Chain A
Amino acid sequence: MIWEPIDDLVKSVKTGRTSAVELVNRSLKAIADNQEYQAIISVLKDNAMARAKLVDQAVANGEDPGVLAGIPFIAKDNFLVYGSDTTAASNILKGFVPPYQASAINRLEAAGAICVAKANLDAFAHGASTENSDFFVTKNPHDKSRVPGGSSGGSAAAVALGLAPFALGTDTGGSIRQPASFCGVFGLKPTYGLVSRSGVVAMGSSLDCIGPLTRSAKDAAIVLDVMSGRDELDSTTIDKNAAGYSGVKALNLKGVRIGLVKEYMGEGVNEEVKAAIKRAVEDLAKRGAIISDVSLPSLPLALACYYIITPAEVSSNLSRYDGVRYGYRDKQAADLFESYTKSRGHGFGKEAKRRIMIGTYVLSSGYYDAYYKKAQTVRTKLINEFAAAFSSVDYLVGPVAPTTAFKIGENAQNPLAMYLSDVMTVAANLAGIPSLSLPLAKDKQNLPIGMQLMAAQKKDYELLSLAMAVEETIK
């Protein structure tokens, strides 16, 4: 299923050439026709239909139905949405019905967008393949024997399959960009704090970002424009760009300084991936961009840094799942302590428990300075190197992941190998800078290769305009 660009669809709804009900029906049919990929956890048919009718009514009454009028979308199942179970693909939250919904969803709905379904993920967004879902494994739309990437694997597969014009993901260490790369779609992780996280299941609070998965940079800009900006329910939010994002135009590449990240083009990176990136960079140079190799010497440390800081924050954020106020509660416990240990021990999946224990270890007395505080200080070093890099170039580019989509089961028995899939994406989260993945090419097995673009903090608009220029170049 191919969707038109979002602004064309909205125009069609506003002028009555199509209707919100028609678009929602199209989306629901695509979901029903593609069940074999297992991208979706739950479908919000009745709610979506009711909202679609409201949008169509507004159009009929001559009212403004909003900049996303009638656009169906799919939310990763760690977004709280009214009328849907929100599970984060975890057994411990199975059956949880949110009494409120995410600010991002509220803003999208106010603009006329319609949530039609909730997408699969690695439980609690812990993973890089969606194999850590406590429910089922999503399959890559380009090759069913392969993973869609993760943790927003359901969202990326959904957009690749055309189940909706856009999907929402969360990105703590690459969870939007890596699956976007594996599934051949566009994925944006904005500057830290640009989109409110109120009502989204927390993972690593100093890293978590919300962003869109779409078919193009332009569509991502339109969705970001609606979701971004301060929210009093999330005190880490920042102001959006004064001009917004939806008016973004392709950047004139003449004289634009682009740095190819040296550390991402070395050993351990698939040759076809490297070749595709090199070709793209040469094409940008032909259009006037000034290309240079840029080194950030601490980048090889980013993954170790990430796998200390994230589990530490995970262990804190997941301490709320105690079986008392919500979530799974074990019925066999003799006392309250056992009620905690049994509910958590049986309710959490393997990876969640692994991260809780690592986090508990690095935060525990005697190890805090050597692990956690050290990682936070190495993070400063990395941030300084990014600042230095962005004083000599306007953008950084490189691959998104060392490989294209791997086989289901290939890394499942080796957690460390799975963690290495995030090696090129975690740095942007540690530094809080915007980063995106755009579909660049295909490898010999016809699997998508993504290109990662990064800019300094709050340069989301500029980053999207570079992405549009790259899209034009590779067309």
Chain B
Amino acid sequence: MAELSREDVLKLVRLARLELSEAEIEEYQSELSQILDYVKQLQQVDTAGLQPTNQVTGLINIMREDEIKDYGYDARKLLDNVAQTEADQIKVKRMVE
């Protein structure tokens, strides 16, 4: 079984910017191991000579004119969804000491 260690889970939690409780960390450690164990079966599949698929309908570089269009968005309404604002700016916690 693809055993995920507690350290593996803590690393994922940090990479994914999640804060989890102790109970959650334990629970996810076993659940994620099970799921990864299941999907690991793909590693046995012979895919020699095949390229990975990233896009299924074969579209390449869909271009349009780079012009300003008014979609009628209201800046006020955008800011209404922000948790904290000051003088019409988005306010966040400090990043550096």
- B70 CB to nearest chain A CB (Å): 12
Q: Chain A residues near B36 (CB, 8 Å)? A: 358, 361
Could you say which of A21-29, A70-78, A342-350 contacts chain B?
A342-350
Q: A324-B90, A344-B18, A357-B16 are in contact. Are A100 and B57 (CB under 8 A)?
A: no
Q: Chain A residues near B54 (CB, 8 Å)? A: 206, 376
* Complex partner residue of B57 from A238, A341, A373, A376, CB under 8 angstroms: A238
Q: How far is the CA of A416 from the CA of B32 in the complex (A)?
A: 10
Contact B62 A192 (CB under 8 A): no
Could you say which of A220-228, A254-262, A326-334, A444-452 contacts chain B?
A326-334
Q: Chain A residues near B15 (CB, 8 Å)? A: 360, 364
Interface members, chain A 187-207 (any B CB < 8 Å) = 191-193, 206
Query: Does A236 make an interface contact (CB < 8 A)?
Result: yes
- B17 CB to nearest chain A CB (Å): 4
Query: Does B78 make an interface contact (CB < 8 A)?
Result: yes
- A279 CB to nearest chain B CB (Å): 33
Contact B57 A236 (CB under 8 A): yes
Q: Chain B residues near A361 (CB, 8 Å)? A: 4, 8, 12, 32, 36
Contact with A along B45-86 (1 / 0, CB 8 A): 101001111111101001010000001011001101111100
Q: A235-B62, A333-B93, A345-B19 are in contact. Are A307 and B35 (CB under 8 A)?
A: yes
Q: How many A-B pairs fall under 8 Å by CB?
A: 169
- B68 CB to nearest chain A CB (Å): 14
Interface bracket on B: 35 or more
Identify the closest chain A residue to B4 (Cβ). Answer: A361
Contact B38 A304 (CB under 8 A): yes
Q: A377-B47, A416-B38 are in contact. Are A326 and B53 (CB under 8 A)?
A: no
Q: Chain A residues near B51 (CB, 8 Å)? A: 377, 380
Q: Chain B residues near A193 (CB, 8 Å)? A: 57, 59
Q: Chain A residues near B57 (CB, 8 Å)? A: 191-193, 236, 238, 432, 457
Interface residues of A, Cβ cutoff 8 Å to B: 96-97, 99-100, 191-193, 206, 232, 235-236, 238, 298, 301, 304-305, 307-308, 315, 319, 322-329, 333-342, 344-346, 348, 353-354, 356-358, 360-362, 364, 370-371, 373-381, 383-384, 415-416, 419, 430-432, 457
Known A99-B74, A304-B40; further 9 A-B contacts with Cβ < 8 A: A96-B81, A192-B56, A319-B17, A345-B19, A357-B13, A375-B42, A416-B35, A432-B57, A457-B56
